[in-house]
């Protein structure tokens, strides 16, 4: 198992009147090579959860394991963990600081102790992975468009060669094309390099499209954990948690209610199209 | 004449090179004509860098045109002595709630604007109460803003604008950082202000689902207005929108895909109900 949380709780302002249990006895195992979506309303505990995965936060109770080792055991190398589990924060472009794109992406690998040449190789390959072309290498990161900046910031984490890439709302504020480009690139990284991806998102449509496992965080607990189809079939409960299902899910349920025997678990446009076409054709044959 | 009117508006900004390597002029808006009638709900779509935020900032004179003109309720925004008057008429709400809340208590934050323009204290309190009530945040009036969710913070920011008794409210991606519920609440609040109070609303967004209720959708590209029409008209042009880095609502996309596969459906289907109705009538 790549990452494992065993009975993890996290308390803010412990032993004061402001005590808040942000994580409440969470158990979670992340297998290698998955694309996991994490959804939950603001304040549900999902940011606290992901920060436990690379040791930025220490559980108040319970244990976190990476590749079988307790990351809070004595002498455990947390620095190494943080290169293996790369975390891309919200609005990562705010963390760009170097004079040009290539130097910015090289900062991490160099800091890790790699030579100039190795760091450059890593940076070039990471920038290629996110689709930032060579013509931008010497550009100031501040002159790029919003989507490009964000991709450079993601490259900065990829250049550390992580096994797990955790992204906290990587598409917030991007136009639809920018959103598809970033998620498409991440999908490809997972397919070609086997990187495990954990995507925190407020877009139900995006997690339905890309994730093969969906985790719902609510009040510091994980009430649902399964395929997007399974999770979205609980759309009524999700609404009670300040969430929703993709628009498509509602269309399919309504069609079924009206006597159309479509597949209600279809949660993407492509799946819905296929199911509706099948039923329409079937209907015509019967008629 | 409409409440917001732009005539051949152009805006240039100067981009400075590294180490005094000279500067160049970049035209962010070009030949923009706009005429918004009082009480309308207008949505502006466009990819990142298309000029929509630059246009929005012209509506309350945060920017003034390089060429052409912008008029708000009959006042030319380039006349400096009218600046406060214009900003009282047109209020703005930005993307990040944390950057626009300044008070340590919700009601103080909402009262800041009226106080700043010299509204008498009893009147300020009346306005604060009224504004918080309208956005559904009255119960939170004595709270610290940092105890609120993103959607609640945005509604407080909207209340801050409402307390100025504006004619028009401009929202620049107000829901980009919010979860689904926060998004729903903010859009609902804006729609109510528009429908019940007749406040003219200009909404900039990347969420296509949020604009299907608008009276008119304006699409921008490279500083120009390239499409204009009702949501149904605009979202019937799926391929054109995709070429502009935009999208259509998921329901519209499904209807479009089904139509391409030979199902006889109308163009520009916008809501779940419409699609379900249309499909059921086929079987």
Structure tokens at A174: 């991007």
The C-alpha atoms of residue A159 and residue A32 are separated, in whole angstroms, by: 19
Listing DSSP states for A241-259 in one string gives TT----HHHHHHHHHHHTT
8 Å CB contact of B245 and A175: yes
Per-residue pLDDT of B205-246, as tens digits, reads 999 999 999 999 999 999 999 999 999 999 999 999 999 999
* Residue B56 CA neighbour count, 13 Å, CB half: 28
For chain A, the domains span 246-287
What residues are paired with B41 via a beta bridge?
A: B201
Chain A residues near residue B246 by CB distance under 8 angstroms: 175-177
- Out of A41, A202, A273, the one facing B261 most closely (by C-beta) is A273
Q: How many residues appear in chain A?
A: 287
Per-residue pLDDT of B106-121, as tens digits, reads 999 999 999 998 999 9
β A221-226/A213-218 pair status: antiparallel
Is pLDDT of A283 > 70? Answer: no
pLDDT at B51: 93
The C-alpha atoms of residue A114 and residue A101 are separated, in whole angstroms, by: 18
Chain A residues near residue B48 by CB distance under 8 angstroms: 145-147, 173-175, 178
Chain B residues near residue A254 by CB distance under 8 angstroms: 272-273, 276
- Out of B177, B180, B242, the one facing A242 most closely (by C-beta) is B180
State the distance between the two ends of chain A, measured CA to CA, in whole angstroms. 53
pLDDT-derived band at B18 (thresholds 50, 70, 90) equals low
- Which 3 state secondary structure label does DSSP give A70? strand
Best residue in A38, A177, A235 for a mutation probing chain B (most B CBs within 10 Å):
A177
The C-alpha atoms of residue A49 and residue A28 are separated, in whole angstroms, by: 10
pLDDT at B180: 87
Chain A residues near residue B209 by CB distance under 8 angstroms: 247
The C-alpha atoms of residue A243 and residue A224 are separated, in whole angstroms, by: 12
Rounded to the nearest integer, the mean pLDDT of chain B is 93
Chain A residues near residue B18 by CB distance under 8 angstroms: 140
Is pLDDT of A276 > 80? Answer: yes
pLDDT at B20: 61
The C-alpha atoms of residue A128 and residue A82 are separated, in whole angstroms, by: 22
Best residue in A41, A147, A169, A180 for a mutation probing chain B (most B CBs within 10 Å):
A41
What's chain B look like in SS3?
CCCEEEEEEEEEEEEECHHHCCEEEEEEEEEEEEEECCCCEEEEEECCCCCHHHHHHHHCCCCCCCEEEEEECCEECCCHHHHHHHHHHEEEECCCHHHCCCCCCHHHHHHHHHHHCCCCHHHHHHHHHHHHHHCCCHHHCCCCHHHCCHHHHHHHHHHHHHCCCCCEEEEECCCCCCCHHHHHHHHHHHHHHHHHHCCEEEEECCCHHHHCCCCEEEEEECCEEEEEECHHHHHCCHHHHHHCCCCCCHHHHHHHHHHHCCCCCCCCCCCHHHHHHHHHHHC
Torsion of CA B152, B156, B162, B166, to 10 degrees: -100
Q: Does the interface ipTM go beyond 0.90?
A: no
State the distance between the two ends of chain B, measured CA to CA, in whole angstroms. 49
Number of inter-chain CB pairs under 8 A, A vs B: 118
- Write the CA distances from A13 to A20, A21, A124, B51, integer angstroms: 7, 9, 43, 44
C-beta of residue A280 within 8 angstroms of C-beta of residue A286: no
CB atoms within 10 A of CB B283: 15
pLDDT at A286: 43
- Segment A103-108 mean pLDDT: 95
- Among the residue ranges A96-110, A192-206, B15-29, B214-228, the one predicted with the least confidence is B15-29
* Percentage of residues in chain A having pLDDT higher than 90: 84
- Which 3 state secondary structure label does DSSP give A131? coil
- Neighbour order of strands in the sheet with B4-16: B23-36, B4-16, B67-72, B75-76
Per-residue pLDDT of B62-91, as tens digits, reads 999 999 999 999 999 999 999 989 999 999
Listing DSSP states for A176-193 in one string gives HHHHHHHHHHHHHHHHHH
8 Å CB contact of A251 and B257: no
Interface of A with B (CB under 8 A): 40-43, 90, 140, 145-147, 169, 172-179, 202, 204-205, 242-244, 246-248, 250-251, 254-255, 258-260, 269-270, 272-273, 276-277, 279-280, 283
pLDDT at B73: 94
The residue of chain A with its CA nearest to that of B184 is: A242
C-beta of residue A21 within 8 angstroms of C-beta of residue A220: yes
Q: Nearest CA to CA, how far is A225 from chain B (Å)?
A: 19
Best residue in B26, B46, B206, B243 for a mutation probing chain A (most A CBs within 10 Å):
B206
Largest CA distance in chain B: 69
Reported pTM:
0.89
* Residue A148 CA neighbour count, 13 Å, CB half: 16
C-beta of residue A1 within 8 angstroms of C-beta of residue A31: yes
Structure tokens at B98: 């944390």
C-beta of residue B62 within 8 angstroms of C-beta of residue B92: yes
Is pLDDT of A285 > 80? Answer: no
- Domains within chain B, CATH numbers bracketed: 4-232 (3.40.50.300)
Per-residue pLDDT of B48-60, as tens digits, reads 889 999 999 999 9
Per-residue pLDDT of A37-94, as tens digits, reads 999 998 899 999 999 999 999 999 999 999 999 999 999 999 999 999 999 988 888 8
pLDDT-derived band at B170 (thresholds 50, 70, 90) equals very high
The C-alpha atoms of residue A31 and residue B104 are separated, in whole angstroms, by: 44
Rounded to the nearest integer, the mean pLDDT of chain A is 93
The C-alpha atoms of residue B148 and residue B178 are separated, in whole angstroms, by: 12
pLDDT at A18: 83
pLDDT at B261: 94
The C-alpha atoms of residue B124 and residue B130 are separated, in whole angstroms, by: 10
Is pLDDT of B30 > 90? Answer: yes
Per-residue pLDDT of A158-204, as tens digits, reads 999 999 999 999 998 889 998 999 999 999 999 998 999 999 999 99
The C-alpha atoms of residue B195 and residue B201 are separated, in whole angstroms, by: 10
Q: Nearest CA to CA, how far is A68 from chain B (Å)?
A: 34
Is pLDDT of A282 > 70? Answer: no
């Amino acid at each position: 198992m790549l990452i494992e949380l065993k009975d993890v709780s996290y308390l803010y302002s412990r032993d004061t009147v402001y005590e808040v249990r942000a994580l409440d006895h969470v158990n979670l195992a992340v297998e290698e090579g998955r694309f996991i979506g994490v959804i939950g309303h603001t304040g549900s505990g999902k940011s606290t959860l992901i920060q436990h995965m690379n040791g930025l936060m220490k559980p108040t109770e319970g244990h976190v394991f990476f590749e079988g080792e307790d990351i809070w055991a004595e002498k455990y190398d947390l620095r190494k963990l943080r290169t293996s589990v790369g975390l891309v924060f919200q609005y990562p472009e705010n963390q760009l600081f170097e004079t040009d794109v290539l130097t910015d992406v090289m900062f991490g690998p160099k800091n890790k102790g790699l030579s100039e040449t190795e760091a450059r190789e890593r940076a070039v390959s990471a920038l290629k992975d996110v689709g930032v072309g060579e013509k931008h290498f010497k550009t100031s990161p501040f002159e790029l468009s919003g989507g490009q900046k964000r991709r450079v910031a993601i490259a900065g984490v990829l250049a550390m060669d992580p096994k797990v890439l955790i992204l906290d709302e990587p598409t917030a504020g991007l136009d639809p094309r920018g959103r598809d480009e970033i998620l498409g690139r991440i999908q490809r990284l997972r397919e070609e390099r086997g990187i495990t991806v954990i995507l925190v998102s407020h877009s139900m449509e995006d997690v339905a499209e890309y994730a093969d496992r969906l985790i719902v965080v609510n009040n510091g607990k994980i009430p649902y954990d399964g395929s997007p189809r399974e999770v979205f079939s609980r759309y009524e409960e999700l609404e009670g948690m300040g969430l929703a299902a993709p628009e498509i899910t509602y269309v399919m349920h309504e069609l079924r209610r009206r006597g159309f025997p479509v597949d209600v678990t279809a949660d993407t446009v492509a799946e819905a199209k296929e199911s509706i076409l099948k039923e329409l054709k079937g209907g015509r044959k019967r008629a | 004449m409409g409440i917001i009117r732009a005539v051949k508006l152009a805006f240039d900004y100067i981009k400075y090179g590294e180490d005094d390597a000279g500067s160049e002029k970049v035209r962010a808006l070009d030949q923009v004509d706009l005429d918004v009638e009082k009480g309308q709900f207008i949505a502006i779509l466009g990819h990142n860098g298309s000029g929509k935020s630059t246009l929005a900032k012209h509506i309350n004179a945060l920017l003034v045109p390089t060429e052409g003109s912008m008029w708000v309720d009959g006042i030319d925004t380039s006349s400096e002595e009218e600046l406060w008057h214009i900003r009282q008429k047109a209020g703005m709400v930005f993307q990040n709630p944390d950057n626009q809340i300044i008070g340590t208590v919700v009601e103080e934050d909402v009262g800041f604007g009226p106080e700043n323009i010299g509204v008498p204290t009893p009147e300020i309190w009346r306005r604060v109460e009224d504004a918080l009530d309208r956005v559904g945040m009255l119960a939170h009036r004595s709270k610290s803003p940092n105890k609120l969710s993103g959607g609640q913070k945005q509604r407080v920011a909207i209340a801050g604008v409402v307390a100025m008794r504006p004619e028009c409210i401009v929202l620049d991606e107000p829901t980009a950082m919010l979860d689904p519920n926060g998004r729903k609440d903010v859009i609902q609040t804006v729609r109510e202000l528009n429908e019940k109070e007749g406040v003219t609303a200009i909404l900039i967004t990347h969420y296509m689902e949020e604009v299907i209720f608008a009276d008119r959708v304006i699409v921008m590209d490279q500083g120009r207005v390239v499409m204009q029409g009702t949501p149904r008209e605009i979202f019937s042009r799926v391929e054109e929108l995709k070429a502009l880095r935009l999208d259509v609502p998921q329901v519209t996309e499904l209807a479009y895909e089904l139509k391409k596969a030979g199902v006889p459906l109308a163009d520009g289907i916008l809501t779940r109900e419409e699609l379900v109705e249309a499909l059921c009538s086929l079987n």
